[in-house]
Amino acid sequence: MSDHHPDSKERRRALFEDFRGKVEKKEARRIKGKQHEDETVWFGLGMFGIVGWSVAIPTLIGVAIGLWIDRTFPTKYSWTLMMLIIGVAIGCWNAWYWVKKAGRRIEEED
């Protein structure tokens, strides 16, 4: 059995090919970005707003439900606090889902 150890020329060649692939990928992404120049800073801020609202709305709904439960069925536990935490958790999951979905769409376009 012979162990094949790449010599320095083969290693440099492999590193060069890897580097070239990365540069080509970044250049293709840059060119693709140039095609979307009409998407301004406001578009990016709008996307941040969508993610923010996807967390805020479930949180507010959770607080509203918690306040209603606390007023309707008084207990020693704060349903408002529990529903706030549940709302934040659902909102974070929702935001993660949409960001991941958008990321997959961008990768598919590449």
Give start and end residues of each alpha helix (H) in 1-110. 8-35, 41-72, 79-109
Q: What is the mean pLDDT of residues 18-34?
A: 81
Quote the pLDDT of residue 28: 80
Instruction: Fill in the DSSP letter of residue 105.
Output: H
As a whole number of angstroms, the distance between CA 53 and CA 24 comes to 36
Q: Is 91 helix (H, G, I), strand (E, B) or coil?
A: helix
Over residues 66-80, the pLDDT tens digits come to 999 999 999 999 999
**Alpha-carbon distance 97 to 50, whole Å?**
12
pTM for this one?
0.60
Q: Report the amino acid identity of residue 41.
A: V
Question: What does the pLDDT average to over 39-46?
Answer: 70
